[in-house]
């Protein structure tokens, strides 16, 4: 008896899922960030500066540490678990707590001596000004 091999069963989708998970591990993408200890970040660029915007809800400003060294920006902080009131019993906790650190590679055009940071409503904004020589400028063309 000849059996027809069907490709619409679970094996191909399982293989696709395993491939996605392996790519997530290799590329450090969100599948393994479910612990919440890798906060999401946006990186923006204007003609004058770069900005790194990181969501840090529930993090005390005093626990945030920034360091710029050579071509790397490191952001580290800790989100602490709120203490339970007397008589409270925790049944479920979905808000992750703990320390984390993220590093970002900086372009050579960043002026590391003028980096500034602002923390407002749980959002950290790090402003990385560009060096003067790295800023775009218009060059006039003369006609002879």
Query: Which residues, in sequence order, are CB contacts of 83 under 8 Å at separation 6+?
Result: none
Pairing of strands 72-79, 41-45: unpaired
Between 24 and 61, name the one with better pLDDT: 61
Mean pLDDT of the chain: 82
Instruction: Write down the pLDDT at residue 120.
Output: 96
So what's the pLDDT on residue 9? 54
Condensed to tens digits (0 to 9), the pLDDT of residues 56-111 reads 998 999 999 999 988 899 999 998 888 889 989 888 888 888 899 999 998 888 99
> Which one is predicted more confidently, 14 or 71?
71
Residue-range domains of the chain with CATH: 37-81+97-134 (2.60.40.790)
């Amino acid at each position: 008896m000849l059996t027809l091999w069907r490709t619409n069963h679970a094996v191909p989708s399982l293989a696709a899922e395993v491939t996605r998970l392996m790519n997530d591990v290799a590329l450090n993408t969100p599948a393994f960030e479910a612990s919440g200890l890798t906060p999401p970040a946006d990186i923006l660029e204007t003609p004058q500066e770069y900005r790194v915007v990181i969501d840090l809800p529930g993090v005390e400003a005093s626990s945030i540490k920034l360091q710029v060294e050579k071509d790397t920006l490191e952001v580290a902080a800790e989100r602490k678990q709120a203490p339970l009131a007397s008589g409270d019993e925790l049944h479920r906790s979905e808000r992750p707590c703990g320390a984390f650190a993220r590093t970002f590679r900086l372009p050579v055009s960043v002026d590391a001596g003028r980096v500034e940071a602002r923390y407002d409503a749980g959002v950290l904004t790090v402003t990385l000004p560009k060096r003067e020589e790295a800023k775009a400028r218009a060059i006039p063309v003369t006609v002879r």
